[in-house]
Amino acid sequence: MNASVGAPHAVGQAQRVPRLAYMVWCASLLGASGCASAVLTPAPEARVVPGTASAAMSEVAGVRVTVQADAWEGVRSVTDRVHPLRVTIENRSAFTVRVRYGDFALVAANGVRRPALPPVRVEGDLLSPMLAPGLAPIITPRFSYRRFYVAPYFAPLYPGVPVYGRPYVLYDPGYYAFWHVDFTRAVRSSVEVLSLALPEGVIEPEGQVAGFLYFRTVDPDAGQVVFRAAIVAVHGERDAVGGTVLGEVAVPFTVTKRR
């Protein structure tokens, strides 16, 4: 099934759909994205974080990524629509490393790829993106960071967070145009969702950032999915578009049905 399949209505409309009709629609998706009945836990081969059985990590080129699937601390209904994964990125390399939604995905054994969904809409061309109007600033964000700088188009949303000011293209207009629509089919961009979200930006050496990435729900019969993240170094003006891929981290999760 295509990972981009979404709900037949926006969240506000879906609440008015009779429960029976909603259950029929869920069944029509054969348990795939749309009705969360899957639970993700670190696979036996995963590198589990010492002291916890629910978080696993992977590291490449001095960048460590830790993923926890049961850490959501917000309204429970969000987990009925998407998988919110708490992702911590620690940059122990000598490079500035980018954080961009298109670099993250959940990949199933059958090849179905569920990219990280942008929780906000960004508009404009490649060189002059801007946040879509209508969102109130998040004065007290609940993601944590050190030596992290948000992408310039996120600055109005997180006014207290340092902004990356050097020339480097973080914005991917095609990605936002397609995948933010998929996000809105699943869940509303509430203050809570945006406050906890991991924003796009860059992490300097010895820096880190931790927040939630949102993915369309996984088929409960998938067996296993792998969280994959491309680790890309930012060099600034002389390499303003592509950056340099340092490697990829992979964190495997076992998929079971929610009881």
SS3 248: strand
- Per residue in 69-108, pLDDT tens? 999 989 989 998 899 999 999 999 999 999 999 999 999 9
With bands split at pLDDT 50, 70 and 90, how would you rate the model's confidence at 167? confident
Question: Does residue 30 surpass a pLDDT of 70?
Answer: no
Residue with tokens 């080129």: 61
Radius of gyration of the chain (CA): 18
Cβ partners under 8 Å of residue 156, min gap 6: 131, 135, 137
The pLDDT tens digits for 136-158 are 999 999 999 999 999 999 999 99
Residue 20 clears pLDDT 50, i.e. is over it: no
Place of tokens 């310039």: 152
Question: Domain residues of the chain, as ranges?
Answer: 11-257
- Entry pTM: 0.84
Question: What confidence tens digit (pLDDT) does each residue in 31-80 have?
Answer: 334 455 789 999 999 999 988 888 999 999 999 999 999 999 899 899 98
Residues with Cβ within 8 Å of residue 251, at least 6 apart in sequence: 42, 46, 47, 56, 57, 58, 65, 67, 226, 227
Q: What is the pLDDT of residue 51?
A: 84
pLDDT for 3 beyond 90 = no
Report whether 168 contacts 240 (CB < 8 A).
yes
- Bridge partners of 209, per DSSP, are 89, 145
